[in-house]
Amino acid sequence: MLLTVLMWMPSGAQAQLSEDVPQVTRTYALEHARVVQAPGRVLERATVIVRDGLIAAIGPNVSIPFDAERIAADSLVIYAGFIDGLSHAGIPEPEQPRNQPRPDDPGNPPDEEAGIQPERDVRTLLDPKEKSLATLRNAGFTVAHVVPYGQMLPGTGAVILLAGDDPKALVLKGDASLFAQFTGARRMYPATDMAVMSKLRQLYREAGRRQLMETRYAEDPTGLERPEYDPAHYALFPVLDGEKPVYFHTENALDLHRALDLRQRLGFPLVLTGLSQSFDAVDALKQADVPLLLTLDLPEAPQTPREGQDDAAETDSTETPPTMGPTDEAEELPQAQPPDYNPDLRTRSFEDAEAEKKNLEARQEMTREQYFASAATLHDAGLRFGFTTLDAKPEDVMKNLRKMVEHGLPEDAALAALTTTPAEILGLSASLGTVEPGKMANLVVASGPIFEEDTKVRYVFIDGQKYEPASAPATGRRRPATRN
């Protein structure tokens, strides 16, 4: 009887379950889909069985379990759920304190005020109702490595599922990383980037000394001064031991060089994230040989405030981004031909002013395209990378991904950056990153090939639980995810 009812329901038109309506099964059969198990490994017309949170079976002729909710997926494409290498998803953004009192001694403030909190555990900050979880999920992400907001050392990160009932349920792997960025303290030391670098050196070296003290004292305390516990230094011990990586966020090429300089001097395990403008530092990246996470944020053409007689940048684009939420930004029309840039143009007088303006705009457009082609540049240099949405607006993620593909990033490389590479960087390849039996059932089910313009995300499976992106932005309404 149940089976008949289930089979009777039209496929692809699964209605959203209202609140309080109980879920009846945790088994799903996604039938006759195109399954992209991993970049370059595709199964046509295969069925994926999801059961008890895992991918139970994949194949063209697998038997459908009796309790499966069957979903006809003939025209759909299934990928491994995307993994966000670095994000603040699930963490409420803290309020900016207004009228902060001036510290008594701005040169030597308490660590927490100066943004030095490496011991702060992101797991204590998670909120499963946070909107960003849903927005990322709607873009196809299933797992994210999240870190706290803050200044130079905001805290310790954790890998989480992008859905759960309570904070504990979100966590996949805790104590996963130390997060660092070039964000100075406000109105106290360390305020500038050079001071941040200095502070990091100081912390690291002094932590080494305290670790030595701890070790010696533990071996035999006689005659030795008692080591004092201090959370900031102690939180660095696993980094000193090479066991915990530092995820260092960069926003431009100079940040990148500076983070690498710190690593060279101190020797900590490093993951470089952000990498905006990395096309200017490819050599340094190759030499550095560290895991990389590229930002999914891309620059946009300026909105010229003057009456746009000729501004192509202001015209609305014909392409519609997938339904993540309203987008107001101007889209660039795909250029019929490359911009006409003359590097040797001389602007001698007012007569050349018009030509100069066009030339400058052409160069700026070429620069934007350099950014769009960042991913392709890294790929062509033989560098592997994952992605981070830290600086990006989740609504723009798919649009930007597609732009990167348009500008030379092979689709397989893009998919790897979304799945297998971040899984590897996070040390979770055994359970995540591909669509294979035995792995966690984290899946993206799309209406077509994911990098095509009109493709929409139909379902997202996280830990074997089905989610459907709403056509309106997520309101925070609880998903029907009652589990036993």
Positive or negative: CA dihedral 338, 407, 76, 392: negative
Q: Which two tokens stand for residue 358?
A: 């066009």
Site residues (CB under 8 A) for other proteins, limited to 161-180: none
> Nearer to other proteins by C-beta: 72 or 195?
195
Q: How far is the CB of 188 from other proteins (least distance, A)?
A: 5
Burial of 89 (0-12, 13-18, 19+ CB in 10 A): buried
Identify which of residues 173 and 186 has a Cβ nearer to other proteins in the complex. Answer: 186
Q: How far is the CB of 190 from other proteins (least distance, A)?
A: 7
The Cα 479–Cα 425 span in angstroms is 30
Q: Interhelix angle for 253-266 vs 193-219, to 10°?
A: 20
Residue of 120, 368, 402, 407 interacting with other proteins (CB under 8 A) = 368
21 contributes a contact to other proteins by CB under 8 A: no
By C-beta, is 252 or 317 nearer to other proteins?
A: 252
Instruction: Please provide residue 229's backbone torsions phi and psi, each rounded to the nearest 5 degrees.
Output: -70, 135
Report d(CA 141, CA 159) in Å as an integer: 13
Nearer to other proteins, 25 or 108 (CB): 108
Give 423's strand partners.
none
Q: Which residue among 247, 268, 371, 385 contacts other proteins (CB under 8 A)?
A: 371
CB of 297 to other proteins, least distance (A): 11
Instruction: Report CA Rg, the chain.
Output: 25
- Largest distance between two CA atoms of the chain: 85
CB of 415 to other proteins, least distance (A): 23
Are 274 and 255 in contact, with CB atoms under 8 Å apart?
yes
Nearer to other proteins among residue 61 and residue 222 (C-beta): 222
Which of 305, 326, 334, 382 is in the footprint of other proteins by CB under 8 A?
305
Backbone angles phi, psi at 122, to 5 degrees: -65, -25
CB of 408 to other proteins, least distance (A): 12
Min dist CB 353 to other proteins, Å, is 5
Name the minimum Å distance from CB 365 to other proteins: 9
283 binding other proteins? (CB under 8 A): yes
Window 215-254: contact mask with other proteins (x via CB under 8 A): -x------xxx---------------------------xx
> What residues from 253 to 282 belong to the interface with other proteins (CB under 8 A)?
253-254, 257-258, 261, 277, 279-282
Q: Assess contact for 292 and 417: CB atoms under 8 A.
A: no
For residues 91 and 122, is the Cβ–Cβ distance under 8 A?
yes
Residues 372-391 that bind other proteins (CB under 8 A): 377, 380-381
Residue 400: CB minimum distance to other proteins, A: 13
Residue 420 DSSP label: H
Structure tokens, 52: 């008890």
> Which is closer to other proteins, CB of 54 or CB of 213?
213
For residues 93 and 306, which CB has a smaller minimum distance to other proteins in the complex?
A: 306
Q: Tell the residue number behind the tokens 């496929």, with chain if given.
A: 11
Closer CB to other proteins, residue 105 or residue 289? Answer: 105
- State the minimum distance, in angstroms, from the CB of residue 104 to other proteins: 8
DSSP 41-52: EEEEEEEEEEET
Please count the residues of this chain forming the interface with other proteins, following the rule CB under 8 A. 75
**Cα 252 to Cα 303: distance, rounded to the nearest angstrom:** 22
Element of type H or E holding 361: helix 353-372
The DSSP string of 239-290 is HHTT-S-EEEE-SSHHHHHHHHHHHHHH---EEEEE-TTGGG-HHHHHHH--
Q: Which of 11, 14, 23, 304 forms a contact with other proteins (CB under 8 A)?
A: 304
Pick out residues in 330-359 that bind other proteins (CB under 8 A). 343-351, 353, 356-357, 359
Report how far apart, in Å, the C-alpha atoms of 236 and of each of 39, 121, 158, 241 are. Answer: 36, 13, 16, 9
Task: Please select the residue that binds other proteins; options are 16, 75, 124, 303, rule is CB under 8 A.
Answer: 303
Residues 181-220 that bind other proteins (CB under 8 A): 185-195, 197-198, 201-202, 205-206, 209, 212-213, 216
**19 neighbors 477 (Cβ within 8 angstroms):** yes
Query: What's the min distance (Å) between Cβ of 199 and other proteins?
Result: 9
Strands 27-38 and 41-51: antiparallel
Choosing from 302, 338, 438, 449, the residue that interacts with other proteins (CB under 8 A) is: 302
25 makes contact with other proteins (CB under 8 A)? no
CB of 285 to other proteins, least distance (A): 11
* Options 12, 53, 92, 106; binder of other proteins; rule CB under 8 A: 106
Are residues 313 and 302 in contact, defined by beta-carbon separation less than 8 angstroms?
Answer: yes
C-alpha distance across the termini of the chain, in Å = 24
